Structure 1
Amino acid sequence: MNIPAKCLSGISMLLLLTSPASALEYKLAQPEQSVVTFGFTLMGAPLEGTFRKFATELYFDPAKLAKAQARIEVNVASIDTGSNEGNEEVVGKKWFNAKDYPTATFVSTGLKALGGNRYQATGKLSIKGKTLDVAAPVTFQSEGTRGTFDGTFSIKRLDYMIGEGEWTDVSSVANEVQIKFHVVVNASPARK
């Protein structure tokens, strides 16, 4: 079978653009399409909230996992718990103390492939002056030059002194908080 060179060239270009191993670096975060949310339990009722302002810096090339990097910096005063009263309370000194600690930061320390589009991200999470190790399962999906990272992990709020004084009572506000993130990125051609 004889396939014209022009067709082979077109097929090669199509495979290059659609292959997950194509030479693309995902590093241009799209904050208006990304979101950081959290789930918590108040008086036995599950609730959700979000952080409206955060900045993301990352580098991800599926072919160069050892070079993967991520930094997410959340403006804690941008919290939305679903009520104005709740928002005012949690930025105060007993909770996030946004005046003295305006940001919560995650900095990656590693990324391990788990197969398919699944990864295990490890890193340091700093909240209210305390830094602890965290690990999060992450999925990565790509379509053309657009990629999305989705992950979930849990923290214990008292480990970071979030909720001091009377708020250390975990029967009113549970200690476990689930953090979810959806980060949208655009890719550029990989550097050689």
Structure 2
Amino acid sequence: MTLRFTRSAAVFVALSFGVLSCADAVEYKQVNASASTLSFTYNQFSSQVYGTFGKFEGTLDFDTANPSAARAGLTIQLDSIDAGNSDANEELKKPAWFDTATYPQGTFESTRVNALGNNRYSITGNLTLKTITRAVEVPVLLKSESGIGIFDGQLTLKRSDFKIGAGEWADTVVSDDINIRFRMVAPQQ
């Protein structure tokens, strides 16, 4: 006699017999943008510059019992950039950089999520800036605190891959490597 279980039945059996704890089967479906952060660093004249994007919206459908079915998305309002001073902020909105009048948003859409163990995941997806789309892979650590999921991740992009900082800025005054860091906060469902 062969027994077959659906995914839901298998999770129920695992929970019932203690194979999988309730803490292991958690769903996150809503990003709290006001509690989340999106920041970046780069080097300019050998000094590190820190900045943030103040307006973005995240989407999430993440079940820790089935991470391969997870989906994540991010829409960034590029004119919400803050690189530490008003002159830099206005420069970064110009056509040589983000050209926010023509391209007001940047987007990320996941295409695959892999569980790496110990609450670590690899999220692969498409990042689009100035209509240029590149595949990126983002390592993410999920921390759970009092019913809140905190997804911490970082990656390094090459600004030249997206034609950001063209013309006189294409040289080494501003580093080509831009380090992106995010902290997305989502309540358990």
Relative to the length of structure 1, the TM-score reads 0.86
- State the alpha-carbon separation in 2 of the partners of residues 66 and 136 from structure 1: 15
Aligned-pair Cα RMSD in Å: 1.6
Is residue 40 of structure 2 the alignment partner of residue 38 of structure 1?
yes
Is residue 186 of structure 2 the alignment partner of residue 185 of structure 1?
yes
> Contact 2:42/2:174 (CA < 8 Å) preserved in 1?
yes
Gaps of 5+ in 1: 1-11
Aligned to 2:94: 92
Q: How many residues align?
A: 172
> Contact 2:68/2:115 (CA < 8 Å) preserved in 1?
no
- State the alpha-carbon separation in 1 of the partners of residues 36 and 53 from structure 2: 11
Aligned to 1:174: 175
SS of the residue 1:49 aligns to: strand
Aligned to 2:63: 61
Deviation readout 1:7-54 (Å, 9 max, x if unpaired):
xxxxx9xx9xx73223x3201111111000001001111111000000
- Amino acid in the other structure paired with 2:120: R
Matches within 5 A, 1:26-175: 26-169=28-171, 171-175=172-176
The alpha-carbon deviation at position 161 of structure 1 amounts to 0.4
- State the alpha-carbon separation in 1 of the partners of residues 51 and 145 from structure 2: 29
| 4+ residue runs over 4 A deviation | none
Q: Which has the larger radius of gyration?
A: 1
> Contact 1:150/1:181 (CA < 8 Å) preserved in 2?
yes
Aligned to 1:19: 22
The alpha-carbon deviation at position 144 of structure 1 amounts to 4.1
> Contact 1:20/1:62 (CA < 8 Å) preserved in 2?
no
Aligned to 2:8: none
SS of the residue 1:60 aligns to: strand
- State the alpha-carbon separation in 2 of the partners of residues 110 and 118 from structure 1: 14
